[in-house]
Structure 1
């Protein structure tokens, strides 16, 4: 039988194996800081992974896990809403006559 510690170690190893490479991108100076927003979102997701792993091993209390999951859900809903607006704008551009 797999222990919670073994499960969390396997999860961490798998997560590190598929982590995307950091690309040095420069945000535009006159627009929104998308690189900063992506970095913040990534931080929220990494925090959720850390808290989830801690909860599996008994190192994190349940209320902290629930709070982290709520923050993660809000961040994910925000990203999905932004993605939907970008897709909608792209489709509108495609409909423009040339």
Structure 2
């Protein structure tokens, strides 16, 4: 038999699971900003290594590795952009 006390206790326990609380980590906007900064740093590193390779100060192996890392970062950014555009277009298609 469910009593009012059992129901109140169950509600209290369940409320914490669905109640928005204080975020434990960085917000999505902060994480997006950090990702953009990391991408910019990666592109700056590619520029520096490319310049070093042209002047003979950087080995070819390091240049190839840096370009491969930059290509992966660029593919990730493009995939995220595509998902954002897709979500925006889906919102535009919603009836008002």
RMSD between aligned residues: 1.0
Select 2:55's aligned residue among 57, 63, 85. Answer: 57
> Following TM superposition, where does structure 1 have runs of at least 4 consecutive aligned residues deviating by more than 4 angstroms?
none
In structure 1, runs of 5+ residues without a counterpart are: 1-28
Aligned to 1:96: 94
What secondary structure is seen at the aligned counterpart in 2 of 1:63?
Answer: helix
Higher-helix-fraction structure: 2
In the superposition, the TM-score normalised over structure 1's length comes to: 0.69
What are the equivalent positions in structure 2 for 1:28-47 lying under 5 Å apart? Answer: 29-31=26-28, 33-47=31-45
How many positions carry a matched residue from both structures? 70
Residue 56 of structure 1: how far off its partner (Å): 0.3
Between Structure 1 and Structure 2, whose CA radius of gyration is higher?
2
Higher RCO structure, 1 or 2 (CA under 8 Å, sep 6+): 1
Aligned to 2:70: 72
